[in-house]
Amino acid sequence: MTIIRLCNNIVITMPLQTIFKAGNSHVVTIPTELMQQLDLRAGEKVSVEKAPLGNAMVIKKSTNKIMFTDELNAWFKVFIKENGEILDELAVR
Which domain CATH number covers 77? 2.10.260
Q: 46-50 and 57-61 as β-strands: parallel, antiparallel, unpaired?
A: antiparallel
Residue 55 domain-assigned?
Answer: yes
Residue 15 domain-assigned?
Answer: no
Residue 2 domain-assigned?
Answer: no
Residue 80 domain-assigned?
Answer: yes
Please tell me the distance from the alpha carbon of residue 88 to that of residue 93, in angstroms, as a whole number: 9
Share of the chain above pLDDT 70, in %: 81
pLDDT tens-digit readout, 7-27:
555 566 667 889 999 999 999
Residue 14 domain-assigned?
Answer: no
Residue 65 domain-assigned?
Answer: yes
Please tell me the distance from the alpha carbon of residue 36 to that of residue 33, in angstroms, as a whole number: 5
pLDDT tens-digit readout, 35-70:
888 889 998 888 888 988 888 888 888 776 666 778
For residues 60 and 49, the answer to whether their CB atoms sit within 8 Å is: yes
Residue 3 domain-assigned?
Answer: no
Residue 31 domain-assigned?
Answer: yes
**Res 3: pLDDT:** 45
Domain, as residue range, for 38: 21-92
pLDDT tens-digit readout, 69-84:
788 888 989 999 999 8
Query: What total number of domains does the chain contain?
Result: 1
DSSP 3-state assignment of 24? coil
pTM attached to this predicted model: 0.48
**In the chain, what is the straight-line distance between the N-terminal and C-terminal CA atoms, in Å?**
61
DSSP 3-state assignment of 52? coil
Which of 27, 40, 31, 39 has the alpha carbon at shortest distance from 12? Answer: 31
